[in-house]
A and B are shown apart, each in its own frame.
Chain A
Amino acid sequence: MSGGAGGAPSAADAAERAARESYGRLVAWLAYQWRDVAAAEDALATALARALERWPGDGVPSAPDAWLLSVARRELLQAARHQRLHDSPEVQAVLARDELDDTAPAVPDSRLKLLFVCAHPAIDASIRPALMLQVVLGLDAQVVAQAMLASPAAMAQRLVRAKQKIRDAGLRFEEPESGQLPERLHAVLEAIYAAYGLGWDAAGTEIGSADETPSVGLRSEALFLGGLVQRLLPGEPEAAGLLALMLFCEARTAARLDERGDFVPLQEQDASRWDRAAIEQAERLLWQASQHRAPGPFQIEAAIQSAHCQRLFHGQTPWRAVAMLYGQLLAMAPSVGAQVAHAVAWAQAGELARARELLQAIDHPRLDAHQPYWVARAHMARLAGDRPEATRCIKRAMDLTSAPAVRRHLLSRLADG
């Protein structure tokens, strides 16, 4: 697994990527025509199975996508006829298409439409990342469930329910109107970022075999989706911002664990182990995004990561800039995670009193269960010379950590006092 940053992609990766491109395009086009994601997936699965039967003997057709599409369409029609519904407008649309089949050179790219459907406000936000991974990339429910640490049966059921909602509730299969676009695009980007974050969460629980875990796959799938949206919407700076953000995080993968497999916090990472090429690529994307002069939360988050990566080039982190960027982020998209990071950045910038004040001012019902909050409190207590308080806070943080690599890291903190 190439995992996005790092080594060159192998031929197998390239083939897999091409298959995924193809699959996503075909499902998206069929789902768009048919307004039914599950039926489109079933029909394409049948077409793929038939291709596996036929192609080895008959040879691969000159336009494999068109071949698959025409078989899938016939499959959809047959199902519709079976239900004696062939006079419905959707069936007529497919029938009309069927005539100019087989030679059709390119399948129109409807994947963006499908991403907007998957992240529609009428679809429960917590299932959107899984839905996108399955519908647009063709990951099966088992793999999605494993990567998201959910039970396969429950995940499959939730995905089925979401597709039923898409089919029956009358969701629009078009890109949103311009007035709605920023909000709807943000939902798409958030779901992609959530998939990426889940990849990290899962990676943290299985240290030592990080390259073998499906979570690494999930991160690269999220990067693929982020790249796709950025290519399909080149004029949207937030799409470029999200891609830059993920690339910055990805660039630091190798330095996140030490040789024993223990977690290393960002400010203690060996910057020479960061992926310089990936950082430079992210910088270019972020610069392009900034040319639109339309900042948004993903661009600000990317800018924060960019500031952290400055350490590779200048040997130190511009903490004051990081703190101010967090301030901007909080004005746009308040979250408890950003509030904690904001306070920590001021502490690192040498303004401990201000930092402790900010940390104390956080008002959140589940703050006590937020692990980074306790790590931040411990850090500030130690800076202030209050060792008993630091120890108490680290213990709280450990109780809230399930990832062994992070627990071992916190344990070492405890030993350091």
Chain B
Amino acid sequence: MQFMLLFYNTAENQTPPTDPAAAQAYFGAWGAYMGALKEAGVSINGDGLKPPHTATTLRVRNGKRQVQDGPFADSKEQLGGYFVIEVESLDEALEWAARSPTAPTGAVEVRPVMVAGARK
């Protein structure tokens, strides 16, 4: 099964720190995490996203575009990145979510990916 891990965090925990030592720790943690995903052979794809202030949200209503500056949900914790992984069950996906650098400070949403041709 494929699962998407969506990493939510507050702005201060999401942007790479400016302090060089803290930045090294930040990138080190994500580097190690991505390395572990790759080594386990479960990683399909994934990326970090630029900060929420770069987001633009669009709706089409009555044929007209409504474009809004900012992310879809105006909440304290924002989507900062995602991975799609291939594992046997939710239990394993939760294991990977728990190992992510986001888990101790933010939240990780785990959702099964709809794959074309699969039963459900």
Contacts and interface: CB of A to CB of B under 8 A. Distances in A.
A198 B118 CA distance: 40
Contact of A172 (B89, B112, B119): B89
B94 A170 contact: no
Given A85-B119, A88-B119, A90-B119, A171 B89 contact: yes
A172 B92 CA distance: 9
B90 A171 contact: yes
Interface residues of B, number: 13
Given A122-B90, A122-B94, A170 B119 contact: no
B58 to A, nearest CB: 29
B1 interface: yes
A169 B112 contact: yes
A167 interface: yes
Contacts of B92: 172
A268 interface: no
Nearest to A168: B120
Contacts of A83: 119
B91 interface: yes
B1 to A, nearest CB: 5
B120 A167 contact: yes
B69 interface: no
Nearest to B2: A170
Interface residues of A, number: 13
A90 B88 CA distance: 14
B51 to A, nearest CB: 30
Contacts of A122: 90, 94
Interface string B67-88: 0000000000000000000001
B88 A172 contact: yes
A168 B112 CA distance: 8
B44 to A, nearest CB: 15
A167 B119 CA distance: 11
B93 interface: yes
A151 B62 CA distance: 41
Nearest to B120: A168
B91 A171 contact: yes
Nearest to A166: B90
Interface string A383-407: 0000000000000000000000000
Interface in A164-190: 167-172, 176
Contacts of B118: 88
Interface in B48-73: none
A105 B114 CA distance: 39
A168 B119 CA distance: 10
Contacts of A88: 118-119
Nearest to A164: B120
A239 to B, nearest CB: 21
Contacts of A169: 90, 112
B66 to A, nearest CB: 32
Contact of B93 (A85, A121, A170, A176): A170
Interface string A87-114: 0101000000000000000000000000
B91 A172 contact: yes
Nearest to B111: A169
Contact of B1 (A90, A167, A170, A176): A170
Contacts of A168: 112, 120
Contacts of B112: 168-170
Nearest to A169: B90
A118 B90 CA distance: 14
A83 B88 CA distance: 24
A388 B94 CA distance: 55
A121 B98 CA distance: 13
Contacts of B90: 122, 169-172
Tell which of A85, A88, A169, A171 has the most Cβ of chain B within 10 Å.
A169
B3 interface: yes
- Counting from the closest, the 5 A-B pairs by CB-CB distance are A172-B89, A172-B91, A170-B90, A170-B1, A88-B119
21 contacts: A83-B119, A85-B119, A90-B119, A122-B90, A122-B94, A168-B112, A168-B120, A169-B90, A170-B1, A170-B90, A170-B93, A170-B112, A171-B89, A171-B90, A171-B91, A172-B88, A172-B89, A172-B90, A172-B91, A172-B92, A176-B91
Interface of A: 83, 85, 88, 90, 121-122, 167-172, 176
